[in-house]
Structure 1
């Protein structure tokens, strides 16, 4: 550890936004350890969407000028094009998706880009971005669950008169319709879709305006931003607004139940196609063989689905443990919410 302050020419040439109190640059090791840009950059659309809604409100409230808002819109349009084209340069030094986009915006439009951050902090910004991103993913998942239910209904309709042994304790119990058996999973996935929609209500709440933890003196119109973003309301307490991750835990709990149902169905497919049962055949394009045992046909797809369930359930436990010891308000620990959430989705 150095015992003397570095000379001026030893200091990093890029001054951090918070660097006035610091006498030496951040270690490269710490930069790599604390950076999230290479996994949170997937939220870029949510970040731009939230920023444009914030900028529109700032303009409407006369906090920034109409010219600044127009410049921000133009700059964000260019950034969107660059990211979509794959030409946007994501920089480790800029730590996360938010700083990368803001730095590029400032480079494109000058001081208007700096004014975008008026009345907000990265704390309420990231909380907003995660909610916007997750809301969109929930909508996709809910649609996929409906498609899965319809597929199972189609299979059931074709197999109403096919008789299957019904089991309890994996012992033959009573005969049942194969269609009836399939419809049991339709009910499970129906509950999963309902849970996703219920979780969505609590995801779809706006924390923007909480700033770092205690709000801001700027006359923000939070309800206007919420309406612009299609959110159902605003968070009522700024301390909770920046540090709440209940919605991520709740989503992961709903996802865990959904994966349990996927795993149960997968287990039945695996048993049913085994030579001991022989109830079903899985198409060759969904199976693998063996290089030394040519008689084998392996149900790799349902086996992997069954295995991936463990990852999702593990992420639920990880997120609960992440939050259990945190005092109010935001802590850097919360950066660890994203990778398990992204992997769960």
Structure 2
């Protein structure tokens, strides 16, 4: 029997019940719902709205229900629509009148709002731990590859030599920003909506500050209408998740390229690869490809919630029941992706020799050759033109810049001298970078030191 049946003279059809119910997906909020209900009962007793003996009975029974849910002994029903009414119905069946008094001074509107915030607070903390583990793995990989040189790319064309450590630390900074974004999102999630009622507050003399303290919220939502209709924190969480998945996807794209025969910079561990059903020789980087694909799924979750919220008048609307599916999906997808990605990169093999060999082709020391001429007094734009002509000459001659004789180089500029060869050595090109945050060996060492601090 529905808890709101009094106003109605006709039962809902089975199809309407099924369409209206959210228990199929919001049942995962059972723990948060019970936690919020226990705190609410304590507050009602503290304020003299509920007998303390009733509050104690409610708490004890709720904890029994919690254990039975976790032991798989309770089955929820569509008839009771959602997790809130399912739990309240079970409570009332067991203790009678005290159970019916629990909903005094609250609405499902503020009840679901507090459940979602409690859930997201926990999940943001879990995601933070996963990001920390990923950053630690990147730090270790970078520390172990400070001397590994590789091509740096722009436009997916070989550009300048860098170290693998420097490349990995670029992703470290991305995930560090993700961690900061989630931490900042937590500030706006950490506000208590419970006690706002349906939208206008309540006539009972409640204590929302006590509720905030009891449930571990930093503060209380200051406006009751906003409290029950706000899902900004959830949109923000999905935005943070989308950006984080974008970073994972970018990294995966590079790992997929690097694991091809054409690049052969890395090899994925067999435990994180799959084979072909028809081609026996294949070893596919499917985990990386799946993460890349799942990024679009999380983007879709963000767009789903933005679209749900875009035209809603104040305050609560039933449309907002649909907020949970994209939220739960993004949480599950992001956590799984972070976890598998960290395991995957911690076990991959780096092909150091292949990376270094790739650096020796593609005229990656051309910019350093231009800088050499700048140091000799030639304006950079003129240097750029001289080196461009040398590169064109090398392409036709089938040579690298460092393979040209001094006589050949002087044919382009009299400023070239014997010391040019030292200046355009690949490791010298890397070591010569002086700007803060550069790829130089010293700079990378300093970046690692800052991370360690």
Query: What's the secondary structure of 1:327's corresponding residue?
Result: coil
1:266 paired with 2:266, answer no
Structure 1 CA distance for aligned equivalents of residues 321 and 173 of structure 2: 36
Residue 155 of structure 2 is aligned with which of 169, 188, 192? 169
Query: What's the secondary structure of 1:176's corresponding residue?
Result: strand
1:112 paired with 2:98, answer yes
1:103 paired with 2:89, answer yes
Q: Which position in structure 2 is the counterpart of 1:148?
A: 134
1:158 paired with 2:144, answer yes
1:17 paired with 2:12, answer no
Structure 2 CA distance for aligned equivalents of residues 38 and 29 of structure 1: 15
Structure 2 CA distance for aligned equivalents of residues 339 and 132 of structure 1: 16
Q: Which position in structure 2 is the counterpart of 1:6?
A: none
Q: Quote the offset at 1:180 in angstroms.
A: 1.1
Q: Quote the offset at 1:294 in angstroms.
A: 1.8
Q: Quote the offset at 1:89 in angstroms.
A: 1.4
Structure 2 CA distance for aligned equivalents of residues 137 and 261 of structure 1: 19
Q: Which position in structure 2 is the counterpart of 1:10?
A: none
Residue 21 of structure 2 is aligned with which of 12, 35, 42? 35
Q: How many correspondences in the alignment? A: 331
Alignment deviations for residues 196-246 of structure 1 (CA, whole Å, 9 cap, x no partner): 010001111111111011111000000100011110111111111111111
Aligned runs of 1:1-345 on 2, under 5 Å? 14=1, 16-345=2-331
Q: Quote the offset at 1:20 in angstroms.
A: 2.7
Q: Quote the offset at 1:257 in angstroms.
A: 0.3
Q: Quote the offset at 1:21 in angstroms.
A: 2.9
Query: What's the secondary structure of 2:191's corresponding residue?
Result: coil
Query: What's the secondary structure of 2:220's corresponding residue?
Result: coil
Q: Is the 8 A contact 2:3 2:85 kept in 1?
A: no
Cα root mean square deviation, aligned = 0.8
Structure 1 CA distance for aligned equivalents of residues 13 and 286 of structure 2: 45
TM-score (norm 2): 0.72
Q: Quote the offset at 1:18 in angstroms.
A: 2.6
TM-score (norm 1): 0.95
Query: What's the secondary structure of 2:192's corresponding residue?
Result: coil
Q: Quote the offset at 1:302 in angstroms.
A: 0.4
Over 6 Å off, 4+ runs: none
Structure 1 CA distance for aligned equivalents of residues 317 and 229 of structure 2: 8
Which segments of 5 or more consecutive residues in structure 1 lack a partner in the other structure?
A: 1-13
Alignment deviations for residues 314-340 of structure 1 (CA, whole Å, 9 cap, x no partner): 111111111111111100000010000
Q: Which position in structure 1 is the counterpart of 2:362?
A: none
Q: Is the 8 A contact 2:276 2:283 kept in 1?
A: yes
Structure 2 CA distance for aligned equivalents of residues 292 and 257 of structure 1: 36
Q: Quote the offset at 1:110 in angstroms.
A: 1.5
Query: What's the secondary structure of 2:282's corresponding residue?
Result: coil
Alignment deviations for residues 101-121 of structure 1 (CA, whole Å, 9 cap, x no partner): 111111122111111111000
Alignment deviations for residues 79-109 of structure 1 (CA, whole Å, 9 cap, x no partner): 0110110011111100000011111111122
Structure 1 CA distance for aligned equivalents of residues 16 and 145 of structure 2: 60
Q: Quote the offset at 1:291 in angstroms.
A: 2.6
Alignment deviations for residues 237-272 of structure 1 (CA, whole Å, 9 cap, x no partner): 111111111110000001100000000111010000
Q: Which position in structure 2 is the counterpart of 1:4?
A: none
Query: What's the secondary structure of 1:257's corresponding residue?
Result: helix
Structure 1 CA distance for aligned equivalents of residues 133 and 6 of structure 2: 55
Q: Quote the offset at 1:19 in angstroms.
A: 2.4
Structure 1 CA distance for aligned equivalents of residues 83 and 206 of structure 2: 24
